[in-house]
Amino acid sequence: MSAAVLAADAFVPLFGVYQCVAPLVSRRTLRFGVRVPLEYAEAPVICRERRGYVWRSALIAVCAITVLIALADAGDGSWRWPSRVVLVAEVVADAGCFWWAHRRISQVKSAEGWYAGRRQTVVADTSWRTEPPAFPVGWLLPAVTVIVSTVIVGVLRYPHLPALPSQGWGRVDRSPLTAFGVVVGQVYVTAVWSGLLALVYRSRPDLDTADPVASLRGYRKALGTFARAALVLLACIDLTLLLAALQRWQLVHLSGAAELLVVAPAALGLAACLFAAVHAGASRAGFTVGMVASDRDDDRFWKAGLVYVNRDDPAVFVCARFSFAWTVNFGNPTAWLLVAGFLAPPTSLVIIRLATGA
Q: Please tell me whether residue 327 binds another protein under the rule CB under 8 A.
A: no
In this complex, which beta carbon is closest to another protein, that of residue 249 or of residue 287?
287
Rg (CA), the chain: 23
Q: Are 261 and 163 in contact (CB under 8 A)?
A: no
CA trace torsion 51, 291, 297, 95 (10° rounding): -20
In this complex, which beta carbon is closest to another protein, that of residue 90 or of residue 211?
211
Q: DSSP string spanning 171-184?
A: E----HHHHSHHHH
Other beta carbons within 10 Å of 229: 20
Q: Please tell me whether residue 296 binds another protein under the rule CB under 8 A.
A: yes
Which part of the chain contacts another protein (CB under 8 A), choosing from 29-37, 76-84, 101-109, 198-206?
A: 198-206
Which part of the chain contacts another protein (CB under 8 A), choosing from 20-28, 179-187, 292-300, 339-347?
A: 292-300
- What is the smallest separation between the CB atom of 132 and another protein, expressed in angstroms? 9
Residues contacting 51, CB < 8 A, separation 6+: none
Which part of the chain contacts another protein (CB under 8 A), choosing from 94-102, 206-214, 243-251, 319-327?
A: 206-214
Cα within 13 Å of Cα(305), Cβ side = 24
Q: Which of 96, 195, 286, 314 binds another protein (CB under 8 A)?
A: 314
In this complex, which beta carbon is closest to another protein, that of residue 2 or of residue 120?
120
Q: Please tell me whether residue 66 binds another protein under the rule CB under 8 A.
A: no
How far, in Å, CA of 269 to CA of 248, rounded? 23
How far, in Å, CA of 323 to CA of 302, rounded? 16
How many residues of this chain interact with another protein, rule: CB under 8 A?
Answer: 26
Q: Please tell me whether residue 253 binds another protein under the rule CB under 8 A.
A: no
How far, in Å, CA of 282 to CA of 218, rounded? 11
In this complex, which beta carbon is closest to another protein, that of residue 239 or of residue 318?
318
Q: DSSP string spanning 43-64?
A: -HHHHHHHHHHHHHHHHHHHHH
* Residue 35 DSSP SS3: strand
Q: Which of 33, 154, 185, 212 binds another protein (CB under 8 A)?
A: 212
* Residue 149 DSSP SS3: helix
- What is the smallest separation between the CB atom of 119 and another protein, expressed in angstroms? 6
In this complex, which beta carbon is closest to another protein, that of residue 121 or of residue 149?
121
In this complex, which beta carbon is closest to another protein, that of residue 13 or of residue 331?
331
How distant, in Å, are the alpha carbons of 206, 266, 274, 358 from that of 203? 10, 27, 21, 41
Rounded (10°) angle between helices 260-284 and 212-248: 180
- What is the smallest separation between the CB atom of 290 and another protein, expressed in angstroms? 15
Please list every residue from 85 through 144 that binds another protein, using CB under 8 A.
119-130
Other beta carbons within 10 Å of 57: 25
In this complex, which beta carbon is closest to another protein, that of residue 132 or of residue 176?
132
In this complex, which beta carbon is closest to another protein, that of residue 130 or of residue 356?
130
- What is the smallest separation between the CB atom of 199 and another protein, expressed in angstroms? 12
- What is the smallest separation between the CB atom of 109 and another protein, expressed in angstroms? 17
Binding site for another protein (CB under 8 A): 119-130, 203-205, 209, 212-213, 293, 296, 298, 310, 312-315
